[in-house]
């Protein structure tokens, strides 16, 4: 099985890498090769019996869609795990909390002028759902390791939200729990290619007036929280394969 692991920013995948000045070395994985493709770097590696392709897309929906499609079509990944950080919309989510997406939507997709609901385009759907099996695996990992894993709706858009009014609007319109800038575009690509996927985020900020400051402060820590959980999921996936 070949598994894509992706984030949007270097900081989000860096916990998997031991960056040296000249070349990133894989910390957990046995390195196979690094390939530049479509202006991005893809690390191919082995972790126990799993083939891994690791990359960060750069920020935003278009970059993330390009990377997800490349992981699937060019590198032939069978499954995609997304790791990274998000802004909290739900007051129940605090900095450092882990949230697994149960549904993903695009809060900035708007053809309401034609009578369609927010986040909808013809032949599409407002909410895309990740793999149930991967959500079960995540729950099993959280239970075994006594980690609090929250689940919720993640809203994606090409905007860093640092505005309580916009945040409220997204909460109300999409019933969203967290916001970020890539998840739903990855979801659309994986759904289109019928590739099971999972989107995990650790909260870095509350999408409020302090969001930019908090993001800078907590990006690295929250990215590590998310990537550590993804590592534990890989172990679980391996143990399930062996059974």
Residues marked as catalytic = 12, 205
The answer to whether 179 and 87 have CB atoms below 8 angstroms apart is: yes
For residues 110 to 149, the per-residue mask of contacts with ligand ADE, x marking binding by CB under 6 A and - elsewhere, is ----------------------------------------
Interface residue with ligand ADE among 6, 45, 207, 233 (CB under 6 A) is 207
Q: For residue 179, state whether it binds ligand ADE (rule: CB under 6 A).
A: yes
Cβ 180 to ligand ADE, closest distance in Å?
A: 4
CA atoms of 118 and 115, how far apart (whole Å): 9
Composition of the chain by helix, strand, coil, percent to 5: 35, 30, 30
Is the alpha carbon torsion for 134, 140, 146, 148 positive or negative?
positive
- Cα torsion at 86, 237, 15, 196 (round to 10°)? -40
Cβ 83 to ligand ADE, closest distance in Å?
A: 13
Q: For residue 85, state whether it binds ligand ADE (rule: CB under 6 A).
A: yes
Q: Which is nearer to ligand ADE, 85 or 137 (CB)?
A: 85
- Choices 41-49, 93-101, 107-115, 173-181; region in contact with ligand ADE by CB under 6 A: 173-181
Q: Which of 53, 51, 28 is nearest to 43 (CA)?
A: 53
Q: Using CB atoms, what's the residue nearest to ligand ADE? A: 87
Cβ 41 to ligand ADE, closest distance in Å?
A: 22
Strand ranges inside the chain, DSSP E: 2-7, 17-19, 24-26, 30-37, 40-47, 50-56, 79-88, 98-106, 149-156, 178-180, 197-205
Q: For residue 160, state whether it binds ligand ADE (rule: CB under 6 A).
A: yes
- Choices 13-21, 41-49, 185-193, 204-212; region in contact with ligand ADE by CB under 6 A: 204-212
Paired strand residues for 99: 150, 201
Q: For residue 223, state whether it binds ligand ADE (rule: CB under 6 A).
A: no
Question: Which phi and psi angles does 165 have, rounded to 5°?
Answer: -70, -45
Q: For residue 169, state whether it binds ligand ADE (rule: CB under 6 A).
A: no
CA atoms of 190 and 221, how far apart (whole Å): 28
The footprint of ligand ADE (CB under 6 A) covers: 85-87, 160-162, 179-181, 204-205, 207, 211, 215
């Amino acid at each position: 099985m070949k598994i894509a692991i992706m984030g949007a920013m270097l900081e989000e995948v860096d916990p998997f890498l031991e960056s040296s000045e000249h070349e990133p070395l894989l910390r957990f994985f046995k390195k196979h090769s690094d390939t530049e493709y479509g202006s991005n770097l893809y690390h191919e590696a082995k972790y126990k019996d799993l083939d891994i392709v690791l990359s960060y897309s750069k920020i935003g929906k278009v970059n993330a869609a390009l990377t997800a499609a490349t992981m699937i079509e060019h590198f032939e990944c069978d499954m995609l795990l997304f790791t990274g950080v998000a802004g909290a919309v739900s007051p129940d989510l605090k900095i450092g909390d882990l949230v697994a997406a149960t549904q993903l939507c695009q809060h900035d997709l708007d053809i309401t002028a034609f009578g369609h609901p927010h986040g909808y385009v013809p032949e599409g759907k407002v909410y895309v759902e990740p793999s149930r099996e991967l959500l079960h695996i995540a729950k099993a990992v959280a239970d075994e390791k006594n980690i609090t894993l929250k689940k919720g709706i993640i809203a994606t858009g090409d905007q860093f939200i640092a505005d309580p009014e916009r945040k409220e609007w997204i909460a109300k319109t999409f019933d969203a729990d967290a916001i970020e800038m890539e998840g739903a575009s990855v979801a659309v690509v994986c759904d289109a290619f019928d590739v099971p996927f999972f989107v995990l985020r650790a909260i870095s900020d509350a999408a409020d007036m302090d969001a930019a400051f908090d993001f800078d402060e907590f990006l690295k820590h929250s990215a590590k929280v998310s990537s550590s959980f993804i590592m534990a999921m890989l172990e679980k996936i391996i143990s399930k394969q062996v059974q």
